[in-house]
Structure 1
Amino acid sequence: MPRQSDTKQRIMQTARELFARQGVRQTSLQEIADRLGITKPALYYHFASREDLVRSIVTPLLEDGERFLSGIEQRAGVTPREVLEGFFDFHYRHRRDMLLLLTEMTTLTELGLIDVVLAWRGRLTRVVVGPDATLRQQVSAVLAFGGMQDCTMQFPDAPYDELRAWTVAAACDALGIAAP
């Protein structure tokens, strides 16, 4: 018999796959249970609702993102390039779940998760261009961070090192930062 945590992880993995293919609202808990060969009550033992299941999938991403941001904000003398590299690494690590976030904006807005992600962008912008940034600098930061996020998903088969180098260089260009 599988351990409880194994079953929970299997449920989350199956839900990720179905959510990505069909959407959160179009995927029933019964469908997830059927795919796994478990009963719906067994699924409810681990997750009280579809929203609870979605939260369990995106919570590790949110926690990791908060650790990254807090760490950057607390470091003295962090360079914009270090922020960009860390941002790329974070998004590359979580690209599957970020895709879920982007494709399920309505569901995630209802769960209050979009506000968290938008607040991160503001915090990152303040770190990279300062608290008194001009509108032009803020727009450049939005383009840089949004473009970096997109690159981690747009090029899933690109070699990591090459994709990271080109993505960070392009973000530096967008921000007017000299790339090494």
Structure 2
Amino acid sequence: MAKPVSPRGLARGRVLDCAVALFAECGVHGTSLKMIAQRLGVSKAAVYYQFSSKEEIATEMLRPILEDITRIIKIAEALPDWEARRAVACSGLVEMAIRHRQLAAVFVGDPAMPQIAPVELRTVTDQLRTLLEGPDPDPPSRIAVAVFFAGMGNAVADPLLADVDDDELHRTLLDLSSRIMRAHNDDG
């Protein structure tokens, strides 16, 4: 009798789950396909059957984030004025960051990110930055967006905040993002 074979989707999921754990422990550069195979108890060829490279694994991990950012942009751009677009984009980003908290813990601050992030992710992130900065952004607007991105990313990834539940983190990040994004407008 033939040995049952698990569906490719299940095997891909196992590789991704294992890679997330190893990337969190060793970083992207510090993780090899051989390490993933060893942790899974399979051959390196079995991992290659699912993914051609470590970069492809990372890209697949980041795909849900890419899809979420694309959706946030579409929703925000459908609104009539810039303030409403920015408010929806901020709220959507906070929700997305919390939803992908485990991935943020893996990728935020990893020096390999600029090399492995798919071009599409960089493109939508740039679109989002433009949406948040608004028309003709001045330096304070650009700085506020940079602080918002960095602060939110670091907060959801910070292991010292792992005990903070998602609802409280969500409320606090929304409040802080609102303050950050409008702080420079209140000065003028």
Per-residue CA distance 1:128-165 (angstroms, 9 max, x = gap): 44211221122112212321222222222212222211
Preserved CA contact (<8 Å) 1:144 1:172: no
Correspondence 1:5 to 2:9: yes
| Contact 1:88-1:149 within 8 A present in 2 as well | no
3-state secondary structure, aligned to 2:52: coil
| Aligned counterpart, 1:29 | 33
1:101 matched to 2:99: no
Instruction: Point out where structure 2 has 5 or more consecutive residues left out of the alignment.
Output: none
In 2, Cα distance between equivalents of 1:143 and 1:43: 38
Normalized against structure 1, the TM-score is what? 0.83
Q: In the TM superposition, what are the counterparts of 1:78-157 in structure 2 within 5 Å? A: 78-106=84-112, 108-113=113-118, 116-117=121-122, 120=125, 122-154=126-158, 155-157=161-163
Range 3-12 or range 95-104, more displaced:
95-104
Q: In 2, distance between residues paired with 1:98 and 1:156? A: 12
SS in 2 for 1:152: helix
Deviates most, 42-51 or 5-14 = 42-51
- TM-score normalised per structure 2: 0.80
Identity of aligned residues (%): 24
Asked whether the 8 Å contact 1:91–1:98 carries over to 2, the reply is yes
Q: CA deviation at 1:24?
A: 1.9
Rounded Cα–Cα distance in structure 2 between residues aligned with 1:35 and 1:98: 22
- Describe the SS at the equivalent of 2:135: coil
Q: 2:176 & 2:155 partners in 1: Cα distance? A: 10
Give how far 1:98 is off: 2.6
Contact 1:61–1:97 (8 Å) recurs in 2? no
Query: How much has 1:175 moved relative to structure 2?
Result: 2.0
Q: Which residue of 2 aligns with 1:14?
A: 18
Query: How far 1:166 sits from its partner (Å)?
Result: 1.4
Say if 1:105 and 1:114, in contact at 8 Å, map to a contact too: no
Instruction: Count how many residue pairs are aligned between Structure 1 and Structure 2.
Output: 176
Could you tell me how far 1:75 is from its partner in structure 2?
A: 2.9
Q: Match for residue 164 of structure 1?
A: 170
